[in-house]
Amino acid sequence: MALLTCSHLTLGYEGNPVLSDLSFSVDAGDYLCIVGENGSGKTTLMKTLLKLKTPVSGRIAMGDGLKQADIGYLPQQTAVQRDFPASVREIVLSGCLNRRGFRPFYSADEKKRAEERMTRLGVGHLAKRCYRELSGGQQQRVLLARALCAAGRVLLLDEPAAGLDPQASEEMYALIKALNGEGVTILMISHDTAASLPYATHVLHIGTPLFFGTAGEYAAYRKGATS
């Protein structure tokens, strides 16, 4: 049974569509790479999946027991976020805010969860460091640990390697693939298709025409389109 099923979605702003008649599904364990030109609607789709935006029309259905709280999100970083004056531990722990509710403190389980995520992402030794003093690659690992702290079943990632040097970018993609191998379902927007597509199981190309299929089918589609 699919975790997410999008049927005939039309997305836009103030009723003006930027993306029309989009249908695709995501199963548990998939690694979906979302590609397309700037302005094609990729980030709008991700915000709609997060229920930060409402579709103009169409339907998004969750299955296999998936709940909105099971979905973690890593947005694109802004310059202001890169300069955030908090410790690594504080950033990662903030992923538990929804779990904390109205409690004025984090529970022992939430602190343990944060420590485990920091260790898994290789930033445990940086827990007391100020976030803004870290390298770009280290910052992205911290934010990925935060997203995993929020939810560990499905991750939505918007250009997770943007602005990183080639080595840090390669390490980030390999780390995301390792998480996918551990059972985390990945939906990732990427412009760097040469680096990101080899890790994907499925590809959603947003543009004209729309394409959704396996990574192998997409490779054949691209070969046919350029021959």
Sheet holding 4-13, edge to edge: 16-26, 4-13, 57-62
149 located within any domain = yes
pLDDT on residue 97: 81
212 domain residue, yes or no: no
CB 31 within 8 Å of CB 202: yes
DSSP string across 121-133: TT-GGGTTSBGGG
Angle of CA points 178, 184, 187, to nearest 5°: 95
CA nearest neighbour of 127 among 110, 147, 111, 151: 111
Which two structure tokens, joined as six digits, stand for 219? Answer: 């490779």
* Residue 224 falls inside a structural domain: no
Domain count within the chain: 1
- Structural domain range at position 93: 4-196
Q: Give Dmax over CA atoms of the chain in angstroms.
A: 61
What CATH number is attached to the domain comprising 145? 3.40.50.300
The per-residue pLDDT for 106 is 85
The verdict on residue 217 lying in a domain is no
Amino acid at 176: I
What pTM value is reported for the model? 0.90
Instruction: Decide: 36 and 206 in contact? Cβ < 8 Å.
Output: yes
- What would the pLDDT profile of 197-212 be if each residue is shown by its tens digit? 999 999 999 987 889 9
Distances (CA, A) of 126 to 28, 67, 133: 32, 32, 10
Which residue stretches of the chain have pLDDT < 50? none
Q: What amino acid is encoded at 225 in this protein?
A: A
Per-residue tokens: 200: 């994907």
The answer to whether residue 207 sits within a structural domain is no
Q: HSE-up of 151 (CA within 13 Å, CB side)?
A: 18
Question: Tens of pLDDT along 85-120?
Answer: 899 999 999 998 876 666 778 889 999 999 999 999
76 within a domain of the structure (yes/no): yes
- Identify the H or E element spanning 6: strand 4-13
Answer yes or no: is 36 within a domain. yes
Query: Residues 131, 139: contact at Cβ < 8 Å?
Result: yes
- Give the pLDDT confidence score for residue 101 in this predicted structure: 65
User: How far is the C-alpha of 88 from the C-alpha of 117, rounded, in Å?
Assistant: 11
Residue 209 lies in a domain: no
The length of the chain in residues reads: 227
